[in-house]
Structure 1
Amino acid sequence: MVEYKLSDYDYHLPIELIAQEPLAERDKSRMMILEKRTGQITNSIFNRIPTYLKQGDLLVLNDTKVLPVRLLGQIVGKDTAVEILLLHRCRDERWIAMVRPGRKLKPGIKVSLEEDVTALIEDYADKGLREISFSVREPIEKLLPRLGRVPLPPYIKKELSDPDQYQTIFAAREGSAAAPTAGFHFTDRVFAELDKKGVEKTFITLHIGPGTFQPVKEDDIREHVMHREYYQLHKSTVKALNAARERGGRIVAVGTSVCRVLETVAESNGYFAGEAEGWTDLYIYPGYKFRAVNTLLTNFHLPRSTLLMLVSAFAERKNILYAYREAVAGQYRFFSFGDCMLII
């Protein structure tokens, strides 16, 4: 029987287990191995991941790069503090953004930012968002390194000593408001060991939005509306995916963002017809039948989140919640800078 009640995707997490910073050596994070059919658990270390993969397997990683899209300012002529989180360009030089405090940021309001830059609230957008323009002629992206801050998840209270701590080592394509955190654990050393074993790797791009942190609020999880995110599936990736399937290798999705892209684009037989790009709002929860992904590397997710529902669909809810209870008991580190789980 499939559980659709929101309360079925809750668990107790002591606040001290929420990791506030990454490990000095990324590949020494702990890794729980979960056998999705039996629920069997093995505790390991991430740098031993080559032990659990086979020659011919294919790692698929998200090469998105986090932009410093968090802007701080104040309403012109007032002392009201404002926070703007840019999501994506919508038309011309306008951007779609999350804003706080929403009630005071109506169309026509101007916000003073640093370096004499002004943001204008142009219009309302869907789901409480805003259309915003800027007072500068050059694209705002060029000014973000100076104006913006890294948009850390709300549960991380500690400022980073280095913004690159919130990037994967293979981040290449700018556009995310959040990092693909399952990729944090990889180092050049681990990639070299995987290469030696004959495990291949390839990349997709999905620009992650802050909606990934939003809890589901509907009592019936099927009523939740998923946020949309832009993705690209490259021609070289399609070739690698189909070749892996032909040789019997496993498709190993590194993170839920990769999983959603592959499941969005895959044909019913698990193959891929060709390169693709667009917007996905694929919402995966128990009852979903996976077409492409065989193995999933993922961090430990927030209670009542769409990410927890995705992994519950992949490995059965009872197995996931049991694994999470074991992770809490074993003092695993949770969320973005935390430890990880390899579901095989």
Structure 2
Amino acid sequence: MRLHLLKILPVILVCLPLGGCWDSQELEERLSVTAVAVDQDKGDKDQLVVNMEIPIPVNNTAAGSDGSGAVPAQILTGRGHTFSDAVSDVYYQSNQHLTFGDTRLIIIGEQLAKKGISKLLDAFGRDPEFRRREFMIVAKGDAQHFLKVKSPERVAAEYVIAFLKDKIGDRLILEHRGLNRFYTDKANPAKEPALNYLSADGHTVKWEGLAVFKGTKMLGTLNRIESRSVVQLHDGTLGEEMNTLCIEKPGYIAIKPSAVKRKIRIGNRKGRAVFRITIKVLGDIVEQSCIGDLHQPTVLDRLSHHVAKAYENQAMNSMKIMQKNFRSDICGLGNRIRAFHPKWWNEMNWTDEDFSKADVSIKYEVILKRPGVRIGI
């Protein structure tokens, strides 16, 4: 008998510290937040308005829709001088604990982004439930409008995320723009953060360009045309279609990029940074409203040079805005100096001075593929 007790005793001693879970919560007592929209209160600029989307389980409704053609979801609103204060406000309204482990989308209102989001980032960073994998965007106007987008198949957050994934999959907008990327860009002295800038209107979501930051404060935006060359320079993204005037005859030509390759050379001219950037674009002619025989090599070559010049003009205009208006290096040019010339980098004041003084030249090489055979009937 004693021998059996001696064999069982180690098992008992090991099990003693395993007291079980003392802070468990029933699923019915928790609200799972899928999206967070944060705005600046219009009545009190020091106060936040936080809207949170909580999907309603399908078995809790008689049908999969609320009658308006949208998948049902509950929107809870809290106000407070801090994010945690606003979350507490929601808790006192619902008497249920909010969990952010399933949050996939963070939307920042335009006015709040211009004021600065350092306190908001601090709150996200301290809460372990925010896993930094969330998509993060800046809203044109109020962020709360995105949670009111109606879709017959998805809740608003899923609809916006699907829109972003489609655009990223087609390589049209900045990739990997999430909470984690914002933290890393903010901590990098050689690069400034940028987020995709979107608008929402009832049933649709639209990409409007890029929100340019310096630190945690949004300085302004680049429209879709100004953003095209930035996304190509940033990470080799294709960007949206290029529409330009025909060479001689009236009309427009639309070019759709199918491949983009970039090459960046760095120089030092008496302490001034010099960048010579070459971007090669392989594109298809998707529309032509002017008459021209594109089967002739000379015509196609002239058109390629014409499109390249249009790309260059737009790219240099965007770079001028970033250098002179915003003084914000969202393309990460400073990263290359920091990586390949560390001694020179230590002597620079890149963020406040040297980036705006840098000599940047952008050249495009465009190769247009010959159009397919057109058969008439």
| TMscore range, shorter length | under 0.3
Using the size of structure 1 for normalisation, the TM-score is 0.23
Greater RCO (CA < 8 Å, at least 6 residues apart) = 1
Using the size of structure 2 for normalisation, the TM-score is 0.22
